[in-house]
Every structure is written in C-alpha cells, then in structure tokens.
C-alpha cells in the first residue's frame, strides 16, 4: 500500500476483551489491527495507539464504531468492561466531521446482506425468504443480539439487548443447572450461560448438580478442548448443553421476529468448534417449538465464519451514510 495513502474513515469493533481497528480506503478495510482493551485506559487512548502504529498520511475525518453495549445515550459504556466515552468529546478529540456509534450487533446485522457463501455455513434445512426479517445472535465475551428488517428500500437494524432475556429450561437437567446458577446470580439471563464465562458457569453448575468437583479451572478454551477431545465427561455435557441452549434462544428469537430471512450465529466462540456445533442439538432445539415448530422449521440457520463481520456492516453503513449526504 502506498505510503501516502489517505483513508476515508476509521472503523472499530470494540468488545470487552479486544478492540479491532481498520482504516477504510477505496478498496475497503486495510491495516487491520487488534489491541487488547485491558492494555489501554480508554477508547481514545487505544485509537491513538492504533493511529500511531499505522501512521496514515492524513488522519481520517469520519469514524464508525461498533460498541458492545447500549449506545442510545451521549455517554456510552461497555457492558463487560470499564471503558466509557462521551460521543461529543470523542468526536472533538479525534477532529472528526462525522462519528457513528452503533451497538456491535447492529453492525453485524448490517453485514448480513453482504456476506457471501464463503462467509457462512448453513446448519440444518430452510431457504431464506427475500425481504423477510433476518436475526443474528452471537456468544463472545457477552451475548449479542440484533434483527434486520427491510423498510423503505433498505435494510434497517433494530437495536437490542436481547442477550439479557431470561434463560429458560427445557428439561430437568437444565432446570437443575439454572436453579444452581440462580443461587449465585439471582436472575439468570441467556448471557450468563451463552458466552465465554457462561461456558464456565455451565461447567461449574453441571459439576455441582452431578456431585463432582470441577477440574478444568475457569478457562473456557480448556473446557472446550477437553470436550472436543473427550478428556472430560462433564466438559462434553457442558458443550452439548451450550449448543442446545443456544438453539433454544435462537429459536425464540426467530419465533419472536418471524425471521424467515434466516437466523445467524456470530461471535468468536462457536466458529472454534463448527463441526461439533453442526452435529449438536442446536438445530433440533431451534425447531422444538411445539405447535409452532413448523413455523420455525422453514427458517434457515447459519454459522458466520467471516472473521470480523462487524467491519463489513460498518463499511456498509458508511457507504450508505455518504450516499445519503451526497443526495
């Protein structure tokens, strides 16, 4: 890339663990870098470190940020990390003409119409109906949820904190696990079991209700590895329950919004065990809706394999915003 290359925008996907940045130019996103949130005191500090690292000839005058938390107020905070910022102050600090801040899963939702067959794996049957709502949820550090609806000639994302809905039990084992977790958390949301720490919560709760001592510690990756390699029976049951519960929540989402355009699973966790996931109880649980099972059975479900779908959505949002400004 030429040294005098000048970007048109900065894009950022900010989670509770990692902050990913890129500069947007004529050919799309470039100079993608990942910074660890804990290494920087604030978002502004992380952006400064990133720009110092890539050193563009001219700083971008536009930015779009996907943020893992509610974004409707002037002051926004990450749900699972201490970072917060004022939109007005950040725009001033970065000397931006335009600053767009959206929930991280709004950005993922905006990416869905632009994903190719190579960016996703279909799990189970179903054919998408053009123009029907599309839903996405994704376990990562937390559980993100969003919906995309077609309105007035374009796709519109719906802002959501659906990861915090109450997690239901569909059998006695899940009821025992959730009862155990309620003793610790009170309200047990879907996010309490369907994210990285959620996998640990499930493992510890399953161990407790089975009368066994958890031996794998609190590293989700260790639990996943033990499950996939058949090293620990409780870990195997944990990963199966994780996939099944994700199917229940995904089916609830599809049923709620009528997402015959498809239900997508995103996030950094599930792609690590895509083959296990495809063979799990996910799809059976997705369809298990009693009298309305036939309603959801025709909905296709997909696992997103694109490494940073939020960037695809942010670039689409910038392109659309610029087109509307020029009109």
Q: Are strands 9-14 and 134-139 parallel, antiparallel or unpaired?
A: unpaired
In a domain, 321, yes or no: no
Report DSSP letters for 108-130, one per residue: HHHHGGG--GGGEEE-SS--PPT
Residue 284 lies in a domain: yes
CATH of the domain at 87: 3.30.420.40
In a domain, 156, yes or no: no
Residue 116 included in any domain: no
Q: Is 118 a domain residue?
A: no
Task: Give the structural domain span for 236.
Answer: 162-304
Neighbouring-strand partners of residue 76? 85
Residue 170 sits in the same domain as residue 99: no
Whether 40 is in a domain gets the answer: yes
HSE, CB side, 13 Å, CA atoms: give it for residue 57: 9
Kindly give the confidence (pLDDT) of every residue in the chain, 327 residues in length, as a single tens digit, with 9 standing for 90 and above.
Answer: 444 456 889 999 999 899 999 999 877 888 999 999 999 999 999 999 999 999 888 889 999 999 988 899 999 999 889 999 999 999 999 999 999 999 999 999 999 999 999 999 999 999 999 999 999 999 998 999 999 999 988 899 988 889 999 999 999 999 999 999 999 999 999 999 999 999 999 999 999 999 999 999 999 999 999 999 999 999 999 999 999 999 999 999 999 999 999 999 999 999 999 999 999 999 999 999 999 999 999 999 999 999 999 999 999 999 887 767 666
Each residue of 201-220: pLDDT tens digit?
Answer: 999 999 999 999 999 999 99
Are 270 and 190 in the same domain?
yes
Phi, psi of 234 (to 5 degrees): -65, -40
Do 300 and 168 sit in the same domain of this protein?
yes
Instruction: Report the CATH number at residue 257.
Output: 3.40.367.20
Let me know whether 178 and 246 are in one domain. yes
Strand (E) or helix (H) holding 28: strand 28-36
**Residue 13: count of CB within 10 angstroms of its CB:** 25
Which of 59, 80, 103 corresponds to the end of one domain? 103
3-state secondary structure of 304: strand
User: Does some domain include residue 149?
Assistant: no
Q: Which residues contact 128 (CB under 8 A, 6 or more apart)?
A: 134, 260, 261, 262, 300
Task: Please compute, for residue 16, the number of CA atoms within 13 A of its CA located in the half-sphere on the CB side.
Answer: 19
pTM of the model: 0.91
pLDDT in tens, 303-316: 999 999 999 999 99
Is there a domain that residue 119 lies in? no
């Amino acid at each position: 890339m030429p040294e005098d290359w000048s970007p048109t925008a900065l894009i950022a996907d900010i989670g509770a663990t990692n902050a990913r940045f890129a500069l947007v130019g004529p050919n799309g996103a470039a100079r993608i870098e990942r910074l660890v949130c804990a290494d920087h005191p604030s978002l502004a500090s992380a952006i400064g470190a990133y720009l110092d690292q890539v050193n563009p000839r001219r700083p971008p005058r536009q930015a779009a940020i996907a943020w893992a938390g509610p974004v409707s107020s002037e002051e926004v905070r990450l749900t699972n990390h201490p970072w917060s910022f004022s939109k007005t102050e950040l725009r001033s600090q970065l000397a931006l003409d335009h600053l767009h801040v959206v929930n991280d899963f709004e950005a993922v939702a905006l990416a869905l119409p632009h994903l190719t067959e190579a960016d996703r794996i279909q799990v189970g049957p179903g054919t998408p109906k053009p123009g029907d709502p599309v839903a996405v949820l994704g376990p990562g550090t937390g559980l993100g949820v969003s919906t995309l609806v077609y309105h007035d000639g374009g796709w519109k994302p719906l802002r959501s904190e659906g990861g915090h809905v109450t997690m239901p039990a569909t059998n006695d084992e899940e009821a025992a696990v959730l009862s155990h977790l309620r003793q610790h958390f009170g309200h047990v949301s879907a996010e309490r079991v369907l994210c990285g720490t959620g996998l640990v919560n499930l493992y510890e709760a399953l161990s407790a209700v089975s009368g066994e001592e958890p031996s794998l510690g609190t590293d989700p990756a260790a639990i996943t590895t033990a499950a996939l390699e058949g090293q620990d029976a409780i870990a195997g049951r944990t990963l199966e329950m994780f996939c099944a519960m994700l199917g229940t929540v995904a089916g609830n989402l599809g049923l709620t919004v009528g997402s015959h355009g498809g239900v997508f699973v995103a996030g950094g966790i599930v792609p690590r065990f895509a083959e296990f996931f495809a063979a799990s109880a996910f799809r059976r649980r997705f369809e298990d809706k009693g009298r309305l099972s036939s309603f959801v059975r025709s909905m296709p479900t997909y696992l997103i394999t694109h490494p940073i779908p939020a960037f695809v959505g942010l670039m689409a949002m910038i392109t659309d915003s610029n087109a509307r400004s020029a009109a």
